[in-house]
């Protein structure tokens, strides 16, 4: 698998790449059943527990488990409904779900598989069997996550591409809307890049973009932050739960990082080295607007940065 920039691999895929110690969620309204499965997996896995359908959904969104063992028959919200909700959400749809139930009928198993479950285990569970099946589905998840990761990175710079950025923006927009939190976008453009390409050649132009991408990737990002190549000489950064002041500080640190690379640019009109212009926009997502409004605002701020001299940061907080 091609190497990803290390600062950006965490959370690259919804329901991230399976770690050495898998994260399992056990859902059952009977604590004795949860305890039985906990004993099976506690030694080798991090095990979360939920005793209701809504609690299971909340834990999934907060903890992003690698696999869910889900009881079918529960009061208020049964496992079938929980599965439908999780599979309809981009943040959780790739988490494999194994139904665990006392009902042993072809019709029940078919119903579970039709709503998106990957397997069906009957109670009382056989520890060796459930351990083997979980191991199989964790392996399959790791393989599918790796393939999605390959499809989500930019071929030149090896950082996430625009397609993946768009997916993450949609997911983080909804997450920040639910929590009433700020969401910030940073748009970046390499100053006078066409002149750089024309003067130094396309190979050097590619190397320039690679170095800019590496500097962005190696910045001190938090777990859910993301930097991606947006297209051409444009890059974009996503910062959930970050207000305008925090995003502006980060944007300025990125500008300085690129400036400190000291890549010669004799054709630049505003410096003798490669620099970037940066636009920042922040909002608290609501039902009344979409993520396109935030992206458009960041792009407008980038335009202002370029119009007022380049190699600077301009930002706005949307009301």
161 contacts: CB under 8 Å, gap ≥ 6: 152, 153, 154, 228, 229
Report residue 313: phi and psi, to 5°. Answer: -115, 130
3-state secondary structure of 25: strand
Nearest residue to 197 (alpha-carbon basis) of 187, 189, 208, 211: 208
Transcribe 67-134 into DSSP letters: EEEEES--SSS-HHHHHHHHHTSTTTTTS-EEEEES---HHHHHHHHHTT-SEEEESSPPHHHHHHHH
The answer to whether residues 217 and 5 touch, using CB atoms and an 8 Å cutoff, is yes
Phi, psi of 31 (to 5 degrees): -55, -30
Q: What are the helix (H) ranges across the chain?
A: 31-41, 53-63, 79-87, 106-114, 127-151, 162-179, 193-200, 202-217, 244-260, 291-307
Reading the block at residue 305, the tokens are: 């940065």
Q: Indicate the helix (H) or strand (E) that contains 317.
A: strand 313-317
Beta strand 67-71 with 119-122 is unpaired
Q: Which of 233, 241, 291, 300 is catalytic?
A: 233
Q: Using an 8 Å Cβ cutoff, are 273 and 229 in contact?
A: no
- Concerning whether 259 is annotated as a catalytic residue, the answer is no
Residues tagged active-site: 233
């Amino acid at each position: 698998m091609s190497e990803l920039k290390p600062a950006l691999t965490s959370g690259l895929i919804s329901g991230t790449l399976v770690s050495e110690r898998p994260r399992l969620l056990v859902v059952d309204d009977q604590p004795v059943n949860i305890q039985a499965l906990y004993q099976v997996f506690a030694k080798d896995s991090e095990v979360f527990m939920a005793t209701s359908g809504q609690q299971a959904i909340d834990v999934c969104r907060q903890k992003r488990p690698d696999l869910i063992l889900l009881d079918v028959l529960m009061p208020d919200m049964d496992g079938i409904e929980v599965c439908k909700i999780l599979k309809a959400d981009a943040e959780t749809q790739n988490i494999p779900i194994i139904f665990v139930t006392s009902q042993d009928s072809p019709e029940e198993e078919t119903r579970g598989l039709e709503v998106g479950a990957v397997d069906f285990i009957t109670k009382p569970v056989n520890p060796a069997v459930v351990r083997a099946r979980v191991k199989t589905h964790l392996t399959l998840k790791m393989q599918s996550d790796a393939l999605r990761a390959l499809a989500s990175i930019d071929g030149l710079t090896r950082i996430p591409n625009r397609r993946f950025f768009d997916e993450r923006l949609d997911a983080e927009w909804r997450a920040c809307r639910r929590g009433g939190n700020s969401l910030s976008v940073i748009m970046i453009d390499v100053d006078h890049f066409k002149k750089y390409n024309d003067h130094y050649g396309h190979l050097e132009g590619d190397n320039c973009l690679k170095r800019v991408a590496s500097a962005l990737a190696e910045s001190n990002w938090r777990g859910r932050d993301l930097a991606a190549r947006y297209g051409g000489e444009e890059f974009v950064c996503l910062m959930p739960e970050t207000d305008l002041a925090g995003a502006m500080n980060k944007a300025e640190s990125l500008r300085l990082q690129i400036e400190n690379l000291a890549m010669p640019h004799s054709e630049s009109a505003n410096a003798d080295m490669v620099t970037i212009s940066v636009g920042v926009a922040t909002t608290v997502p609501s039902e009344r607007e979409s993520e396109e409004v935030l992206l458009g605002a960041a792009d407008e701020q980038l335009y202002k940065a370029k119009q007022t001299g380049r190699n600077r940061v301009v930002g706005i907080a949307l009301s």
